[in-house]
Amino acid sequence: MLHSDHLTDRDIILLVDGELRSGARAAREHLEACWSCRSRMAEIQGAITDFARAYRESLDVQLSPAAGPRALLKAQLETDVVRNVEHEAAVQTSPWWNRLFAGQSISIAASLMVACLVVFAIFARGGGWRAGDLAIPRNSLTPGETRNVTIDDVCGATQGDTARTVPVSLRKQVFREYGINDMRPNAYEVDYLITPELGGSSSIRNLWPQPYSAVWNAHVKDELEDRLHGLVCAGQVDLATAQREISRDWIGAYKKYFHTDKPF
């Protein structure tokens, strides 16, 4: 930390923002006793202040008044809201077959039809699961399982820290357990019931083949996972509660946390 008996610029810079981890106490004590370091700290802070002033003064002259852009934003937001309301109303009043394909691309509709045909073929042979059945995992196969994690582990993790990729061998095992050997795997996401971002384990007891084609599909569950992670890290929902709710009834949890009876 110390260089030639004084704090380095880096120490001072980190100390200013409360980010000096090792030796912070010693650094503060040194600062109290050392006029030279206090003076240097003032110089550094002064340099930042001077730059901030120069930065603002040089750029503020290019700023236009906020009224026009504010009005434009309001108008765009209103248009967006109206468009959503109209879309939802149209979906609710249209026949069920239109609702099925409303707002979806032809490829999704085609995928659904293919999925239906495949499901029909499997049932014709007397076994397997329908896509709708698998929106919720079978409790005996996938009760959900967690790792031993703390709130800091969960909220300190970045996307790269939590490995989500399920090995191919494990994916095959999951498909076998659910008796869907004949189905094309890309119709499903082998998903974690309790997401790793909420401390879910990579055990097979926490994995199930979640269909993309069902109304309550893998994409909808992803939204819930993001929502719950945010709530847990904001301290609004207990981690154990989030794990319990998503593993017992993730659709119910979605309805609860998004205040809706159907997915957005």
Q: Which is nearer to another protein, 56 or 138 (CB)?
A: 56
H/E stretch holding 39 reads helix 35-60
- Give me the phi and psi of 69, to 5 degrees please: -60, -35
Specify which residues 210 forms β-bridges with. Answer: 189
Could you tell me the smallest distance in angstroms from the CB atom of residue 230 to another protein? 3
Q: Which of 26, 28, 51, 102 binds another protein (CB under 8 A)?
A: 51
52 binds another protein (CB under 8 A): yes
In sequence order, what are the residues at sequence separation of 6 or more whose Cβ sits closer than 8 angstroms to the Cβ of residue 87?
102, 103
43 binds another protein (CB under 8 A): yes
- C-alpha distances (whole Å) from 186 to each of 78, 157, 181, 218 are 38, 28, 12, 12
Could you tell me the smallest distance in angstroms from the CB atom of residue 42 to another protein? 9
Q: Considering only the stretches 48-56, 100-108, 113-121, 173-181, report the one whose residues sit in contact with another protein under the rule CB under 8 A.
A: 48-56
Q: Which of 28, 56, 164, 256 binds another protein (CB under 8 A)?
A: 56
Q: Which of 1, 23, 24, 44 binds another protein (CB under 8 A)?
A: 44
Count the site residues for another protein by CB under 8 A. Answer: 54
58 binds another protein (CB under 8 A): yes
Residues 194-253 close enough to bind another protein by CB under 8 A = 223, 226-227, 229-230, 233-234
Residue pair 154/181 in contact (Cβ under 8 Å)? The answer is: no
86 binds another protein (CB under 8 A): no
Rg of the chain in Å (alpha carbons) = 27
Q: Is 209 helix (H, G, I), strand (E, B) or coil?
A: strand
H/E stretch holding 188 reads strand 188-192
Q: How buried is 156 (Cβ within 10 angstroms: 0-12 exposed, 13-18 middle, 19+ buried)?
A: exposed
Pairing of strands 6-7, 188-192: unpaired
Q: Which of 153, 171, 258, 263 binds another protein (CB under 8 A)?
A: 258
Closest CA to 198 of 153, 234, 235: 153
H/E stretch holding 40 reads helix 35-60
Closest CA to 34 of 71, 65, 3, 76: 3
Tokens of 206: 């926490």
Residues 149-188 close enough to bind another protein by CB under 8 A = none
Could you tell me the smallest distance in angstroms from the CB atom of residue 186 to another protein? 25
76 binds another protein (CB under 8 A): yes
82 binds another protein (CB under 8 A): no
70 binds another protein (CB under 8 A): yes
Tokens of 223: 């939204």
64 binds another protein (CB under 8 A): yes
Residues of this chain that bind another protein (CB under 8 A) = 3-6, 8-10, 13-14, 17, 19, 36-37, 39-40, 43-44, 46-48, 50-64, 66, 69-70, 72-74, 76-77, 80, 223, 226-227, 229-230, 233-234, 257-258, 264
